[in-house]
């Protein structure tokens, strides 16, 4: 079975790629990080890598052209690519930062899906999984481009599920909470600077937004992605599934500070 994972050579994507590899899949990753892609492909059999910016439709077309030379069909697409975007009130966000966040967090998912769908149809079915965020289920001050993109991604996912269901192709979105790692560390540091607080105070407030008072591990996301793409998830489609210890609110942090 073949899966393509965008931004799959680094971060959460790398953990997802490792999870699929451990289950015997042929794993294709594309990533802007050239060295990470080289390290991934050199790691052993079943690994395929492509250097590409998933937010550039021309790069995505090139990836799928090269992928088609390896396999005419695809069993799964994991749209993992995403960036945090700026941390600022709306009136302080530069249009270029808005455009880049929407390009990576939304348009990139469309570019890959439109090319994957014919391969999934030739396969007789399959799965598209998009990594969204629990910010797609709430409002979130200071993160407007990110939140808007993730809400739109849920709409895209549900539309894909409706269009593709008759072809035995399911589409779902995973909505993680704060995932441990450099990306959330950067978000916390930027918000702490904006609020004039220490990063530890803001981190603690983030944790308290979850009923389980926890952040998420990348492995939590990877295991669910693999589940949704194998026969155990054969009847799950059109869902936005939170993996976040049950977030109670993503509104104003004031009550948690």
Stretch 154-173: mean pLDDT, rounded? 98
Asked if residue 49 has pLDDT above 80, the reply is: yes
Biggest CA pair distance of the chain: 55
Asked if residue 118 has pLDDT above 70, the reply is: yes
What pLDDT shows up at residue 256? Answer: 57
In the three-class reduction of DSSP (H, G, I as helix; E, B as strand; rest coil), residue 126 is classed as strand
Whose CA is closest to 66, among 29, 23, 35? 29
The radius of gyration of the chain's CA atoms, rounded to the nearest angstrom, is 18
Q: How confident is the model at residue 63 (pLDDT cuts 50, 70, 90)?
A: very high
Asked if residue 73 has pLDDT above 90, the reply is: yes
Stretch 241-247: mean pLDDT, rounded? 89
Residue 103 DSSP symbol? I
CA 94 to chain centre: 24
pLDDT: is 194 or 251 the higher one? Answer: 194
Q: How confident is the model at residue 75 (pLDDT cuts 50, 70, 90)?
A: very high
Asked if residue 257 has pLDDT above 60, the reply is: no
Average per-residue pLDDT in the chain?
92
Q: Are 2 and 26 in contact (CB under 8 A)?
A: yes
Condensed to tens digits (0 to 9), the pLDDT of residues 89-116 reads 999 999 999 999 999 999 999 999 999 9
Q: 252: which 2 tokens? A: 């104003």
Whose CA is closest to 20, among 240, 249, 226? 226
Asked if residue 62 has pLDDT above 70, the reply is: yes
What pLDDT shows up at residue 19? Answer: 97
Cα angle at 15 between 185 and 223, to 5 degrees? 110
Q: Are 244 and 210 in contact (CB under 8 A)?
A: yes
Q: How confident is the model at residue 251 (pLDDT cuts 50, 70, 90)?
A: low
Express as a percent the part of the chain with pLDDT over 90: 72
In the three-class reduction of DSSP (H, G, I as helix; E, B as strand; rest coil), residue 160 is classed as helix
Q: How confident is the model at residue 253 (pLDDT cuts 50, 70, 90)?
A: low
Condensed to tens digits (0 to 9), the pLDDT of residues 175-190 reads 998 777 777 777 787 8
Q: What is the pTM of this model?
A: 0.90
Strand partners, 171: 128
Asked if residue 255 has pLDDT above 70, the reply is: no
Condensed to tens digits (0 to 9), the pLDDT of residues 203-225 reads 878 777 878 888 888 999 999 99
Q: Mark out the alpha helices in the chain (DSSP H runs).
A: 11-22, 34-41, 57-68, 95-102, 108-123, 144-164, 182-195, 199-208, 218-229
Stretch 124-150: mean pLDDT, rounded? 93
Stretch 54-64: mean pLDDT, rounded? 97
With residue 242 as reference, give the H or E element that holds it: strand 240-243
- Residues designated as active site: 146
């Amino acid at each position: 079975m073949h899966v393509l994972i965008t931004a799959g050579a680094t971060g959460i994507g790398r953990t997802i790629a490792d999870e699929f590899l451990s289950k015997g899949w042929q794993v294709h990753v594309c990533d802007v990080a050239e060295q990470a892609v080289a390290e991934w492909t050199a790691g052993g059999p079943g690994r395929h890598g492509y250097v590409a910016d998933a937010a550039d439709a021309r790069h995505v077309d090139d990836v799928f052209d090269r992928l088609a030379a390896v396999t005419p069909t695809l069993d799964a697409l994991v749209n993992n690519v995403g960036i945090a975007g700026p941390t600022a009130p709306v009136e302080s966000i530069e249009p270029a930062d808005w455009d880049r966040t929407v390009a990576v967090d939304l348009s990139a998912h469309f570019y890959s899906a439109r090319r994957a769908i014919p391969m999934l149809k030739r396969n007789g079915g399959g799965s598209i999984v998009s990594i969204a965020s629990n910010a797609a289920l709430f409002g979130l001050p200071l993160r407007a481009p990110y939140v808007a993109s993730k809400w739109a991604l849920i709409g895209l996912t549900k539309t894909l599920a409706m269009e593709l269901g008759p072809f035995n192709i399911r589409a779902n979105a995973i909505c993680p909470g704060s995932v441990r790692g450099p990306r959330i560390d950067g978000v916390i540091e930027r918000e702490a600077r904006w609020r004039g607080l220490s990063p530890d105070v803001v981190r603690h407030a983030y944790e308290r937004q979850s009923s389980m008072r926890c952040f998420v591990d990348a492995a939590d996301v990877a295991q669910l992605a693999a589940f949704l793409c194998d026969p155990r998830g054969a009847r799950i489609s059109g869902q936005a599934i939170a993996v976040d210890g049950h977030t109670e609110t993503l509104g104003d942090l004031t009550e948690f500070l």
